[in-house]
Structure 1
Amino acid sequence: MKRQLKTAWLSASIALGLGLSGVASANNHVLTVVTDPSFVPFEMMDQETGEMVGFDMDIINEVAERAGFEYNLRTMDFNGIIPAVQTGNVDIAIAGITITDQRAEIVDFSDPYYDSGLRILVRANDDSVNDIEDLEDKKIGTKVGSTSYDFLDENLGDEADIVPYPGSSDMYMALLGGSVDAVFYDAPNVGYFAKTRGEGRVKVVGPLYEGQQYGIVFVKGSEWVDPVNEALAAMKEDGTYDEIHAKWFGSTSGE
């Protein structure tokens, strides 16, 4: 039985308090979970049902069942997710969120549940880009508030025109339309787009940059970190994690 009570409470800002804080309901073990609706295939809206689906959604459903809580699901732009957790407007966030030392100063993370990195995406007929150095003097789309933006800023700075977009679909459409020369973003999302809507029109080039790990995010000091970590460990031990991974990405043994 799924523990997800309500899905797709769409919100474009962190104005989630309004007397409805998930922390206030935690005594009843009903938490507020937030995600970003545009990070496919981790989280995306099913147009037929109006519900959020994806790898992260399957993970949080299973984790909640095992850890012993139910939850209300809300969505917002990625850039507002960490502040929403930090301020206690939501209890938990899951949205392909990279574990970083800077973020860990203001929120708590679960143990890593997905290994990732950053990749370059260009149009299929562009042979001028093979690595990050080739992006100098080019216009690069990435996602606002992401580690990919930070990486570009640190490694290219003023040597490239870095354009942050609020959603991943926006930057991909900009690439297809010629508004940017390349996209630099999380490897699984880039790869998924290249194999689906971008097939034959874009290609992934260069190595995997910045080996990263995703974690589930909690309010600092949350009592749910240990139960969630125990649930994740059990899912990996009994094969449930591999089943969810295979559903969205293929077998873990092939990575």
Structure 2
Amino acid sequence: MKKATLATLIAAMFVTATAQAQTSPDTLTKVLETKELVVCSPGDYKPFSFDNNGKFEGVDNDLMDKLAQSMGAKVTIVKTTWKTLMDDFTANKCDIAVGGISITLERQQKALFTEPYFINGKTPIVRCENVDKYQTVEQINRPEVRIIANPGGSNEKYARNELSNANLTMNAENLTIFQQVIDKKVDVFVSEAAEAIVKAHEHKGVLCAVNPDKPLKPAQNGWLIHNGDYRFKSYVDQFLHLEKMSGNLDKTINKWLPRD
């Protein structure tokens, strides 16, 4: 009787393990077979990923090309938005999601992240004459200060949670926010340090990043991997590790991130 019970238990465990194996994603095998890596990206966040008239370019796009090449595949981009990023990703519209995505606990409840490849953090972007006025959260988080954010991402979350006393304007997209600051329609946009550096470089003498080397809230960037897809996560993590060890990661970042 005990032998029969043990045999039944082992059989049940085998069936369960087999079912899990069949339902768990296996992106690595899929990409190796189809020769295509499908990538979700909002494409509005320099220096990581930017839709330049249909051609996506930036740190993440260069790295995606190299990652795909390592599997003998080509990259196909699926354009998304920060508001729909997680829904599109969890609906399996792509194999991996990139574009300057901050690693957050909220996102990790729905997907895996690769190891971090960039240290970032929330940094104010202001008109240069106002740099001294908006150095701290306390200086920004006031009713008379007009802040702005784009919907759906960590910028909106930070604005609503950490700057709840400020006068918030929501802007439909990320790309046009900076002109709102330049035109004095708002005072402060809190984004990531990397974007603040890029935009200050593009609008030199007009827009300034406030202490991008000391963000208001430090963060790290990573890429989204589907839940349970640990084989692909290990592969991508090793790819990033090799890029770091070789110095190629720094070269790619420095290509797109101005330092002056």
TM-score range, shorter chain: 0.7 to 0.9
Matches within 5 A, 1:137-176: 137=143, 138-157=145-164, 159-176=165-182
2:245 pairs with one of 225, 237, 240: 237
CA deviation string 1:97-148 (max 9, x = no partner): 0111111111111111111001111112225322221121111112222223
Query: Sequence identity, in percent?
Result: 20
Match status 1:75 vs 2:79 = yes
Give the conservation status (yes or no) of the 8 Å contact 1:143–1:185: no
Match status 1:203 vs 2:204 = no
Matches within 5 A, 1:1-255: 26=31, 27-47=33-53, 50-67=54-71, 69-126=73-130, 127-135=132-140, 136-137=142-143, 138-157=145-164, 159-196=165-202, 198-206=203-211, 207-222=214-229, 223-249=231-257
Alpha carbons of structure 1 residues 181 and 211: separation in structure 2 relative to 1, 3 Å? same
Alpha carbons of structure 1 residues 177 and 62: separation in structure 2 relative to 1, 3 Å? same
Structure 1, unpaired ranges of 5+: 1-22
Distance (Å, rounded) in 1 between the aligned partners of 2:109 and 2:92: 15
Give the conservation status (yes or no) of the 8 Å contact 1:67–1:227: no
Once the 2 structures are TM-superposed, how far is the Cα of residue 87 of structure 1 from its aligned partner?
Answer: 1.9
Give the conservation status (yes or no) of the 8 Å contact 1:67–1:231: no
- 2:238 is aligned with what amino acid? E
- 1:212 is aligned with what amino acid? A
Larger Rg: 2
4+ residue runs over 3 A deviation: 67-70
Distance (Å, rounded) in 2 between the aligned partners of 1:144 and 1:214: 19
What SS is found at the alignment partner of 1:140? strand
What SS is found at the alignment partner of 2:44? coil
- 1:179 is aligned with what amino acid? K
CA deviation string 1:139-159 (max 9, x = no partner): 1112222223222222232x1
Structure 2, unpaired ranges of 5+: 1-26
CA deviation string 1:27-81 (max 9, x = no partner): 524232111121012112335xx41111111111112222554331121222211
What SS is found at the alignment partner of 1:112? coil
- 2:251 is aligned with what amino acid? E
User: How many aligned positions are there?
Assistant: 226
Give the conservation status (yes or no) of the 8 Å contact 1:36–1:76: yes
Q: Which has the higher helix share?
A: 2
Q: Could you tell me the TM-score, scaled by structure 2's length?
A: 0.79
Distance (Å, rounded) in 1 between the aligned partners of 2:163 and 2:182: 23
